[in-house]
Amino acid sequence: MTETVSLAISTGLAYGVSLVTFVRQFADLRFEPAGLTDDPEIPRAASIIDYVVRRLALDFLPLQDRVTLGVLTPVERATTVTGSTPMVPAWSDTPGIPLFAPLAVPVQTAY
């Protein structure tokens, strides 16, 4: 099925169908497998097809089109809601304790 949808999208794009049309049609299409992904820009997908069209949208559509379609990265979504760019959190296996954190090392200067 995934191969069939990929061929349909590829053929449609070759014949001039807008990517926006495919994203509007296939984003949030739900079927198994669904769930979390390893992609930090698309942390959750409703299906494989949902993931593919969201990835295409993030790679090839301008931000204005993606805002209209509701296809934003978590950072873009937070920026849209708050109006400022959030700090990227330090990753950790233990909640509340970062595995790594920015470290300021003092630099000695020769006098």
Residue 92 in domain: no
pLDDT tens digit sequence for 26-46: 888 788 888 888 888 888 888
Residue 6 in domain: yes
Residue 103 in domain: no
Q: What is the mean predicted confidence (pLDDT) over 62-72?
A: 86
Q: What pLDDT is recorded for position 33?
A: 82
Residue 43 in domain: yes
* Domains contained in the chain, number: 1
Residue 52 in domain: yes
Residue 98 in domain: no
Domain that residue 43 falls in: 2-82
**Nearest Cα to Cα of residue 35 among 50, 48, 45, 23:** 45
Q: What pLDDT is recorded for position 103?
A: 54
| pTM passes above 0.75 | no
Q: List own/partner pairs for 7-15 with CB under 8 A and 24 or more apart.
A: 9/52, 9/53, 9/56
Report how far Cα 104 is from the mean position of its chain's Cα atoms.
31
Q: Hey, how many other C-beta atoms are within 10 angstroms of the C-beta on 87?
A: 7
Residue 100 in domain: no
